Each structure stands twice: as C-alpha cells, then as structure tokens.
Structure 1
C-alpha cells in the first residue's frame, strides 16, 4: 500500500535536516508518538547521516486483526539514510522500516525540499507491505492509518521543536 505524506515546516530545509539528524529530536519524536520504549542511534559523517530508531508502540486502539498479529505491542526499527545535499537544496533519504515479529515492512524515500529560504516540505513516499497470505491487503488497509498517525505525530513534534528554537 502506498503511503504518501507531506509535512510543511516554517524552518529551512537545512534546519530540518539538522533537526532530523539529532538524537534528541528522534527521542522526542518517539515520546510524542506514544512509544513505550526506544533506542536511537545517529551517525553523522560529513554531509550524510544514518538515523536508526528502534521503538515499541502500544497496540491500544489498533484494529483487532492487527492486535492479534502483535498482541504485546509493535516494535519497529526505522533506518533513515540521508544522502548529501543536492544543488537545489533538496536532501533525500532512503527509508526502511522493519516490524519485529510482524509480517510487514515499509521502504521508500524522504525528501526535504526548500520552499523558501525559511520554509520547507518533508515528503514521505513509501510502500507499506503486509506479508500475510490471503489477508495481507486487509492488514495493510487496517495498519496504514496507524503508520500515517505516527508520521503525523512526527510533523507535530517537528513544528513544536522549531517553535522552541532548538
């Protein structure tokens, strides 16, 4: 299932990348999304970065079919591999999310695109796949809103982060 989201920020694309490549922001993102626990690793190497976030989300509010697949919570590892800055100020990352103990995965890209000197958009374009015979498509339809809610929580966290002047 295709997952597409656009998050708008009133900070530059360089500031969005700087924010996204800090451990403190990643930890706040997990807390704001309601994660029960998390472990964040950030490795910045010159003009690139790899951000690896393992988090466990509660299944309260999940559809019953999804809760049956992950009754004790959903643990995922998100790896975002940021490439170098493009000439137009855009930065692209490869996104990989593995769901531990659940037959699902998500792969795609994240692009930070400047819309002005002081504003930018973050565009998420990913494919979420449930690897469950017969009911895989149904699981995708039920789980996609959960994935989108986590992305939406990240947008709110980024806006609060920027408003506080980090």
Structure 2
C-alpha cells in the first residue's frame, strides 16, 4: 500500500537536511511519538549520510487481528540513506524499514527540495504486510500509524525552523 506525505518549511534545503540528520531532532521525534525506548544513529558513508532510527512503540492502536503478530510492543526500524546534494541543494534518500519480528516492511524514497520560497520534504513509501489473506486488511492500519508518526515529526521540524 502506498503512502505519500509532504511538508513545507520556511527554511533552505540545507537547513532542512541539517534538521532531519540531527540525532537530537530524531530523539525528540521519538519522544513526540511516545516511543517507549529508542536508538538513533547518524553516520557517514562515502558521500552519503545514513540515519537509522529504531523505536519501541506500544501496540495499543494495533487492531486485534494484527496484535497476535506484534505482541504488546513493536520495534520499528527505519534507515534513510541521504545522498549528496544536487547543485540546487536538493537531496534524495533511499528509505527502508521494518517492524522487527513481523511480516511488515516499508521501502521508498524521501526528498528535500526548494520550491516557491519554501523547502518541501516529501516521502513516498510502499508498505507491505506479507500475511496471506489478512495482509491487505492490516496494511491501512500500518500506513495510518506511519502517517501519524511522520506528521508529528513534520510538526517538530516546523518548530525547529522557527
């Protein structure tokens, strides 16, 4: 199931990139999404910046049909590999993630680009729940949970740019 989301900031692409690759920002985002525990790692590899966030989340909002797959908590691991800036300052990232010990994966891209005096951060993910018969029924719940977390992260990003 596809998930597309974007947010605009009153900042340059360089400033938005600095925020999304800042470990303190990512830790605050984990706290804002009510993570029970988290681990944030930002590293460099060649010209790429790699952001890996692992967060343990309560499974309270998981529908009963899926709870047997995840238990009382779930660990969401997401890795963004941000590539070097283009001449205009825009950036693109490969995004991969999973909910550990479940058949849930996500894969896609993220971007930061200038437009109309603002900078737009966009994410485009394909979320898969590889469970025969019920996977397609669970995917909307997973997508909604990811969307909610990303929206909270975008709100925090706006706070950081003000």
TM-score (norm 2): 0.94
CA distance in 2, matches of 1:66, 1:9: 36
The 8 Å contact of residues 9 and 120 in structure 1, kept in 2 or not, is answered as yes
The residue aligned with 2:8 is: 8
Unpaired segments ≥5 residues, structure 2: none
What corresponds to 1:141 in structure 2?
Answer: 140
Contact 1:66 1:142 in 2 (8 A): no
Q: Which runs of 4+ in 1 moved over 3 A?
A: 44-47
Residue 61 of structure 1, CA deviation: 2.4
Gaps of 5+ in 1: none
**Residue in 1 aligned with 2:157?**
158
The separation in 1 between residues aligned to 2:157 and 2:45, in whole angstroms, is 23
RMSD of aligned residue pairs (Cα, Å): 1.5
Structure 2 distance, partners of 1:128, 1:90, is 25
The alpha-carbon deviation at position 47 of structure 1 amounts to 4.8
Distance 1:20 1:45 in 2: 17
Cα shift readout 1:81-104 (whole Å, capped 9, x = no counterpart): 000101232100000012101111
1:86 alignment partner, SS class: coil
User: How far has the Cα of 1:48 moved from its partner?
Assistant: 2.7
Indicate how the Cα distance of structure 1 residues 17 and 145 shifts in structure 2: closer, same or farther if over 3 A, else same.
same
- When residues 46 and 11 of structure 1 are mapped into structure 2, their CA distance, relative to the original with a 3 A threshold, is farther
Structure 2 counterparts to residues 44-83 of structure 1, below 5 A: 44=44, 47-83=47-83
Residue of structure 2 equivalent to 1:22: 22
CA contact (8 A) 1:21 1:44 kept: no
